Amino acid sequence: MRVDIVSIFPEYFAPLDLSLIAKARANGTLRLAVHDLRTWTHDVHRTVDDTPYGGGPGMVMRPEPWGEALDALAPDELSPDGHTLPRLLVPSPAGVPFTQAMAHELAGESHLLFACGRYEGIDQRVLEHAATRMRVTEVSLGDYVLFGGEVAVLVILEAVTRLLPGVLGNAGSLDEESHAHGLLEAPMYTKPSSWRGHEVPEVLRSGDHGRIARWRRDEALLRTADRRPDMIAALSAESLDKRDRAALERGGFQLPPGDVAK
Ligand code: JD8
């Protein structure tokens, strides 16, 4: 997969030289380039912002450098190597929520182009114009306010890279399956079995794989009901059996409506 990032803070992306993302870059799974937006300015001050039309606080990113950046990184014509136009992703608090499902979708693309805004954001015409030639998605990490799009790109790229073929081994595919069951994970423990007076739950040391699986499922259900009632409500009636319902009831949780016969 090819990835281009445009930002006024290219140094923000230093973590992409570390760990599994660095490895994916080194073995060619990920072809990543970070570009300084100011490359595409022409004035002595390399200006990227101006005052907002309509008034209000702060500054807005001028369209001209962005237009030139996108022209350079997403040429109209198919390039000699035959690659297609990129998918343009623009982090914004007004974007569609980034989810694991979107990470899977993006992992299937051959070329991603990230545009990192700062200040009050990018002149909307940049996105309008880009949408005449490529797929454009404004995407949000969540309902809180950041200074700019850089951290969002780090998050999205990490979520996508770990889904690329060969980046994770067996552990990865199993991990994805567990996310797919729609519950939070049960807590994990390692040695020593007793630490500062805190014990590893006895069941995990029992060697009884049936009991362990049931305990983990119960813990997953209880912490999901406690922390993410929205996820419990989203479960289909068939995904909770009688045993699951009993565990939630014992934990004092109101059961979501469903087929009581199950
Ligand atoms: C991009 C500029 C800051 C946005 C005024 C100051 C994502 N979940 C998220 N929260 N915030 C962002 C985000 C914030 C950004 C930019 C993403 C570019 N800002 C601006 C408009 C209102 N603030 C984000 N993804």
Q: Which atom number of ligand 1 is nearest to the Cα of residue 117?
A: 18
pTM: 0.94
Q: Which atom of ligand 1 is nearest to the CA of 122?
A: 18
Q: Vertex 150, ends 13 and 99: CA angle to 5°?
A: 110
Instruction: Say which amino acid occupies 196.
Output: R
Q: How far is the CA of 122 from the centre of ligand 1 (A)?
A: 10
What DSSP character marks residue 81? T
Query: Which regions of the chain are under pLDDT 70?
Result: 77-83, 172-180, 258-262
Q: Which atom of ligand 1 is nearest to the CA of 152?
A: 25
Write out pLDDT tens, residues 120-174: 999 999 999 999 999 999 999 999 999 999 999 999 999 999 999 999 987 766 5
- CA 121 to ligand 1 centroid distance, Å: 7
CB 91 within 8 A of CB 153: yes
Most informative mutation of 92, 119, 143 for ligand 1 (most atoms within 8 A of CB)? 92
The answer for residues whose C-beta is within 8 angstroms of residue 112's C-beta and 6 or more apart is: 1, 2, 3, 4, 86, 87, 89, 106, 160
Peptide bond into 10 cis (omega under 30): no
